[in-house]
Amino acid sequence: MILETLHLLFFKNYDEANLRFSPHINCFIGDNGSGKTNLLDAIHYLALTKSAFTAADAQSIKQGEEFFVVRGRFCTPPDDTRDTIQCSLRQGQKKAVTRNKQTYDRISDHIGRFPVVLISPYDTDLIRQGSEERRKYFDSLISQLNHDYLELLMAYNYILRQRNALLKQAADRQSYDRDYLLALDEQLVPAGEQLVQLRQQFLADFTPIFQRHYQQLADSRETVTLDYKSQLPGADFAHLLRTAERKDLVLQRTTIGPHKDDFVFLMDEGSVKNFGSQGQQKSYAIALKLAQFEILAERKQHKPLLLLDDIFDRLDEKRITRLLQLVADRTFGQVFLTDTHLDRTDRVLANLSEQISRFRVEKGTVTAL
């Protein structure tokens, strides 16, 4: 899969930009704060209809403007189908996503069509931060692979919001409709149980791929694995909800269910967060992303876009060398990377035969070199 062109209008620090890309390697060169990462984020928007770095879509509108537009043209194998995707948002309105000028009935229908993998120095936040970050990561990955999972996740979260609203209302009014609560539970239980089952199935397929990439990347003897921590397997979800009802009423939120689960990162049966060195944590995080790339490429039958953000500044030579070996071996398809120094980028990529396009980024302007 190739992204051929990119057009931006009032996106983050850009007034306007029009870019045409190499099908192989594309380098964005500029000082920190110039807008290099914003270009990667625009590509992320086209693939997943959201930012990789900011939670609120409105934060992507250039300061002082009323809207933003991101548009790109993809070419997808095996028949080189071309699709123009546009994401746009106007202040105070809903985000719009179109494919070949046709608006999606539901934005979720777009997810998974154009897979993307982002590798950045902040990937170790998956290890260091709380369970919510890990759930979001795996939910996003599984959703790109399985549209039914995405639909189920959205349905579960909708029922969960209704249940939590009822619990809060109960605290405010000192009473609640228990029949309604039980009716919500009847809907929540099958959706939650199926989510847990699909997560378990995915992890069984994903873990061996991840372990292989870690061993190749780290060249070390420690054993790494992924564990899924949930209260549901082997338990009656409906009974757990009833048991926790009083606690839920006090806390005004649902305390049991897959929205509380965690993906536990282990090394030699110990926590990577607590016992892994900085280098081991970096290898662990990159191995996750390489496994993500492989499983997406295998199941989608075309290679995702690969976005590499500031890896030359933040990763050591051994890990960069391994990534570039994969680029040289054509493991990856189209690659977009950012760096602060053109001479370093040229030196690192000197031995690659692929077509390379370079762009100079300066304070929200982009120029092809």
Which CATH number do you get for residue 196? Answer: 1.20.1050.90
DSSP, collapsed to helix, strand or coil, labels residue 277 as: coil
Residue 124 located in a structural domain: no
Indicate if 340 and 253 belong to the same structural domain. Answer: no
- What is the pLDDT, as a whole number, of residue 331? 82
Q: What's the Rg (C-alpha) of the chain?
A: 22
The total of structural domains in the chain comes to: 2
What are the start-end ranges of the H helices in 227-277? 237-243, 245-251, 272-275
Indicate if 166 and 190 belong to the same structural domain. Answer: yes
Regions of the chain with pLDDT less than 50? none
Indicate if 146 and 103 belong to the same structural domain. Answer: no
Indicate if 325 and 336 belong to the same structural domain. Answer: yes
DSSP 110-158: GTTSS-EEEE-GGGGHHHHS-HHHHHHHHHHHHHHH-HHHHHHHHHHHH
Indicate if 151 and 294 belong to the same structural domain. Answer: yes
Indicate if 75 and 105 belong to the same structural domain. Answer: yes
Indicate if 148 and 219 belong to the same structural domain. Answer: yes
Indicate if 176 and 245 belong to the same structural domain. Answer: yes
Alpha-carbon distances, residue 279 vs 48, 127, 199, 317, 346 (angstroms): 30, 12, 28, 12, 26
The parent domain of residue 186 ranges over 132-302
What are the start-end ranges of the H helices in the chain? 36-48, 125-128, 131-145, 147-173, 178-218, 237-243, 245-251, 272-275, 278-300, 311-314, 317-328, 342-348
Question: Where residue 56 sits, what CATH number does that domain have?
Answer: 3.40.50.300
Binding site for ATP: which residues?
30-37
Residue 120 located in a structural domain: no
The pTM of this model reads 0.92
Residue 126 located in a structural domain: no
Binding site: which residues?
30-37
Asked if residue 78 has a cis previous peptide bond (ω within 30° of 0), the answer is yes
| Of the residues 282, 302, 322, the one at which a domain ends | 302
| Of the residues 274, 302, 330, the one at which a domain ends | 302
Residues 6+ apart with CB under 8 A from 251: 167
Indicate if 281 and 148 belong to the same structural domain. Answer: yes
Residue 192 located in a structural domain: yes
Indicate if 81 and 166 belong to the same structural domain. Answer: no
Residue 110 located in a structural domain: yes
Indicate if 9 and 90 belong to the same structural domain. Answer: yes
Indicate if 245 and 351 belong to the same structural domain. Answer: no
- What is the pLDDT, as a whole number, of residue 71? 97
